[in-house]
Structure 1
């Protein structure tokens, strides 16, 4: 094996560091190139993955993929070496990326620290600076009556500064793997029943519709399974306005980490929300470390008289820490994107 001189390694390190730093803001908010994807051949590519593959590695300028209406039967992955990608569909009702896949429960639940695990997700995004608008991601594995039910993510998000506007995520168990980095979801539709928003992301969900699809009336589902692992861990899920509706009965969350953190603020809860609301799962006896809170929520499911006693009551100053600007946007990155909210 040829040994690379130390000076060369140092130069490579400087170059990579410079590239990462430059990619963090994609050199501003200008789109330098647009690629059209169309199933009927009216664009440069007929599949989304082929269009992504055409983008050079270490891309550091915004490239938009405009995806025309249609159902694209494929799995899509954005490499960690391809930041600054903007996927624009024609609307979540008419642009869908759909396929079927699953992973074993033991694979995902026993290896949460392994960021490159195979989640079976239909859409996987690794790099920072990714924008997605107007697309539905659907994992059809559990939606086709497949038995037994398996974890089957529609999407897995690992990259910092990722934005999803007016998108859809459909599956049954483990729908949205919100795993790593700061993420902003707005006006999205998220459908599932078991741990269907899960992971260790630091994420803000604004005006999102959460739809529980109970299959077995005798069981109780879980909207979230957040995996915060230490007191210093910045991760957590904040839901601002929006709604939790559907059929059957669901808990708002269960702990997938000893410091799990989920906050609902001003959210409408239909009667499907269970009276107890929350579940410590494998962390019974450690409930004081969990941060589960409901603030100014409304609807028949917002009655907290029978909630678990260890649910947190946040002060105004604590609540301010979880505003959009304070929680995920202290450096103002949301204002430096090629979109307007």
Structure 2
């Protein structure tokens, strides 16, 4: 009897692990959301609320074209959800709020195993201030999205804001062919994330006051978090730094990315690592464009070895267990 218990425990352990990964890549249910016409729900949140607690199979929520004025939350106990829009120019979720960087985002996702495709997430709070061109008016932190859960994939999505647009909070995340817009710290957080072929658009109020694309928050040498950008581009209307250290061990790598001339010559700012900027890991590898000249970059920018480059490859950095390969197909 005693020898049977460990076997039973091991079997249950693997069952639980499999359930967490949504039982494979097959979609078991599709829910339709639409502003008009035939649809199960009129709001995205109502559709998410209808998904069973501790969901363990992929459920697709198809969001028809339209403007959805709401704040959308995927709670921790509802994993395995796919949000499928009809294109980021046609399916738009917009919200107006700025109370704090810890709440009130347009999209908050706490669950693991979440996929979003073909959707715009927009926080419109700072839009009126930005358009007024009045530099005396204060810009507030206003998240378009905040992502907590592990193993989340965003495909052809847009994230639109000004300050703190995308709070890449924690967990492994994969952003592919996405559009990210902002000016100050507009990709930030403690996530371990890979951005492939993403278009970064800088929309600043003051062309003479550089913003910051990233503010990554790696806290220690043993912290595995960081942001890797492969391909894509940085363009816009005002000067921008590639990043500043939100925490002393901040880590951001750009590979094969096109930099327009808006990128500042220094490239990076130490911020919280000012006492010892060598604790940061900031690197640029095979980037191109008029802003990719590294001759005047900060002296503490890293030069990566071949083993470093392997560490920051897609397979090693976020997909060593193959979770991306096991995601449900988006169709």
Contact in 2 for aligned 1:231/1:259 (Cα 8 Å) = yes
* Long gaps (5+) in structure 2: 1-9, 131-136
Contact in 1 for aligned 2:83/2:116 (Cα 8 Å) = yes
Question: Residues 282-309 of structure 1: CA distance to partner in whole angstroms, max 9, x if unpaired?
Answer: 2212111100000000000001111000
Aligned counterpart in structure 2 of residue 38 of structure 1, from 34, 40, 58: 34
Q: Could you say which residue in structure 2 is the equivalent of 1:261?
A: 251
In 2, Cα distance between equivalents of 1:76 and 1:297:
36
State the shift of 1:19 in Å: 8.0
Q: How does 1:1-341 map to 2 (within 5 A)?
A: 21-104=17-100, 108=101, 117-118=102-103, 120-145=104-129, 147-339=137-329
Runs of 4+ displaced beyond 4 Å:
16-20
Question: Equivalent residue of 1:263, what SS?
Answer: strand
Considering only aligned residues, what root-mean-square deviation do their CA atoms show, in Å?
1.8
Question: Equivalent residue of 2:164, what SS?
Answer: coil
State the shift of 1:316 in Å: 1.2
Contact in 1 for aligned 2:156/2:177 (Cα 8 Å) = yes
Contact in 1 for aligned 2:249/2:273 (Cα 8 Å) = no
In 2, Cα distance between equivalents of 1:19 and 1:144:
51
In 2, Cα distance between equivalents of 1:227 and 1:144:
29
State TM-score, norm by structure 2.
0.92
State the shift of 1:21 in Å: 2.7
In 2, Cα distance between equivalents of 1:148 and 1:287:
30
State the shift of 1:217 in Å: 2.2
In 1, Cα distance between equivalents of 2:13 and 2:122:
36
State TM-score, norm by structure 1.
0.90
State the shift of 1:103 in Å: 3.0
State the shift of 1:268 in Å: 0.1
Question: Equivalent residue of 1:326, what SS?
Answer: helix
Question: Residues 107-166 of structure 1: CA distance to partner in whole angstroms, max 9, x if unpaired?
Answer: x4xxxxxxxx42x21000001000000000000000122742000010000000000000
Contact in 2 for aligned 1:23/1:83 (Cα 8 Å) = no
State the shift of 1:18 in Å: 7.8
State the shift of 1:17 in Å: 7.3
Question: Equivalent residue of 1:317, what SS?
Answer: helix
State the shift of 1:41 in Å: 3.5
Contact in 2 for aligned 1:142/1:152 (Cα 8 Å) = yes
Contact in 2 for aligned 1:19/1:58 (Cα 8 Å) = no
The change in CA–CA distance for 1:198 and 1:320 in structure 2 (over 3 A counts) is: same
| Matched residue count | 316
In 2, Cα distance between equivalents of 1:22 and 1:338:
14
Contact in 2 for aligned 1:128/1:160 (Cα 8 Å) = yes
Question: Residues 16-38 of structure 1: CA distance to partner in whole angstroms, max 9, x if unpaired?
Answer: 97886344211111100000001
In 2, Cα distance between equivalents of 1:180 and 1:17:
24
